[in-house]
Chain A
């Protein structure tokens, strides 16, 4: 599997956001699916996160203006859902499942190993901006525990050796 890295636009470049023609075309495709513009808030935020890597306050304002909502409303949505990133993420976000089946079938060992190998705790990034470690709740892949989601991709049936090989490959060191 070749996981695509996240390329986060730096905060300075996301203070004031205007949508280009490609973005507008994608939004125009979404709007007719729903009877209200508000219903497009989640999908448009997804488009923005795919494009910019994260949701800055400038992105929130742009989405709100485009859909006729207040920035406060959009910010409320962004902060409610865990998957919208409100700070520039690392190139690879390692989301380790910490719930029941994963925890008891090797997930806790993975967490301990990742913390040691990367020298960071949950919620932190490595200084080179390569990896970010996040502890997440059930990813819905309990039969193939333990599971780590890296960016959009699921890596299942892991152990420490397999995870090390994956990280080596992602870091371009193998």
Chain B
């Protein structure tokens, strides 16, 4: 397909406002200001654009939840936290086309009548935060932002807010807490952010890629957007392919292509002439798919039907040399590190899974381990926690145990007993015993 979101990739000096204007930039913003907020929301609703951050919720509907008669300020937040393992698409958009993000933020803010927007970007992305700040300054200088934008009477300020290293802040309510200057503890929902969001005011949170789609929908129309992809799964999507493939990278494809096409055609197949073993279809929080499931369609509904999720579109590919017990262990380490610690099932469950998997990898597996893992996962997911981080580790780990159980059994069959730990006797007046570690 013709590139839409990545059209600037490969264009000289593509980040500059001049290049963006030459490619028809900010036409959507001008058109939107003439249409009025309700018409903009209707256009996005008709395009059937679904959120690209992971949940796939219809964007126009999210906007329409903001109370119409709210007397105070409202806020738009752009989620550029991009911390799901396997995901590196927002960075690509910001790197080549930051004005596309700024324009998308502006149109969305106008649609919900927000005069302030924040772009929350992960702390590690120092360079990309600067790129965004430069683009915002350029747009403001040209009158696309600020007071009375282009004579419309609409005021808009956009600020970049940097995170400081916390995966959980990609979760929308944790992100709001982080903007408010607090620890990133997710909030209970309801109330949903569209009613009570940042600073207690109605707030809409959209992913970078979602917002980057918006100017194109306004300029080229909802029908054009809806014609790309499949019904209910419309538009172009950025797929981030990483791992054991010949050409890892970001590919822009219509929703609904198969993972086989993404992995074999676009990413050039498995490197070193090896065979595909397994892949995460949408970041490491999505249940893993096996080589036999590679013909699954890469869209929200097809993935859900296959028992997994499209998530953020981060396709992580493993070849046949990979030990799936080690993959589960790596996943457990990630989530045990990133659990915010608010809910016991997630905080303790992720740690417990990590301990068991570490032991399995070290060669001290026990017969009950696979079932224990499944039991922990069951009690950490499906509504047992405030936010979906409980599911985020429980689903991939339980899918690996279920689909690759033979590898667990194989390790357990050749396991040796766990060496006895030296138990410290306290109180101890001498040097600290170090607790046997």
Contact = CB atoms under 8 A, between A and B. Distances in A.
A115 to B, nearest CB: 17
Interface string B401-414: 00000000000000
A80 B182 CA distance: 9
A19 interface: no
A77 B85 contact: no
Contact of B314 (A142, A145, A153): A142
Contacts of B337: 137
A41 B166 CA distance: 16
Nearest to A67: B181
Contact of B88 (A38, A82, A141): A141
Contacts of B179: 34, 39
Interface in B98-129: 122-127
B126 A43 contact: no
Interface in B135-194: 157, 159, 161-167, 178-184
Contacts of A101: 85-86, 242-243, 248, 316
B377 interface: no
Interface string A71-93: 00000110011111000000000
A33 B82 CA distance: 23
B330 interface: yes
B166 A82 contact: yes
Contacts of A42: 161-164, 178, 181
B241 interface: yes
Interface in A41-86: 41-43, 45-46, 67, 76-77, 80-84
B242 A142 contact: yes
Contacts, number: 139
Given A35-B199, A99-B330, A104-B322, A46 B242 contact: no
A80 B337 CA distance: 11
A104 to B, nearest CB: 6
A83 B242 contact: no
A36 B166 contact: no
B74 interface: no
B334 to A, nearest CB: 5
B165 A100 contact: no
Interface string B322-366: 100001001101100110100000000000000000000000000
B88 A140 contact: yes
B181 A77 contact: yes
A144 B247 CA distance: 10
Contact of A81 (B164, B327, B333): B164
Nearest to B75: A35
A139 interface: yes
Given A104-B243, A142-B85, A84 B164 contact: yes
A134 to B, nearest CB: 11
A100 B122 contact: no
Given A82-B166, A104-B243, A152-B127, A140 B161 contact: no
A79 to B, nearest CB: 9
A121 interface: no
B181 A40 contact: yes
B316 A100 contact: yes
Instruction: Among A101, A104, A141, A144, find the residue whose CB has the most chain B CB atoms closer than 10 A.
Output: A101
Interface of B: 73, 82-88, 91, 122-127, 157, 159, 161-167, 178-184, 199, 240-244, 248-250, 280, 284, 314, 316, 318, 322, 327, 330-331, 333-334, 337-338, 340
27 contacts: A33-B159, A34-B179, A34-B199, A39-B180, A42-B162, A42-B164, A46-B123, A67-B181, A80-B183, A82-B165, A83-B123, A83-B165, A84-B165, A99-B284, A100-B284, A104-B318, A105-B243, A105-B244, A137-B333, A140-B88, A140-B122, A141-B91, A142-B248, A142-B316, A143-B249, A144-B248, A152-B126
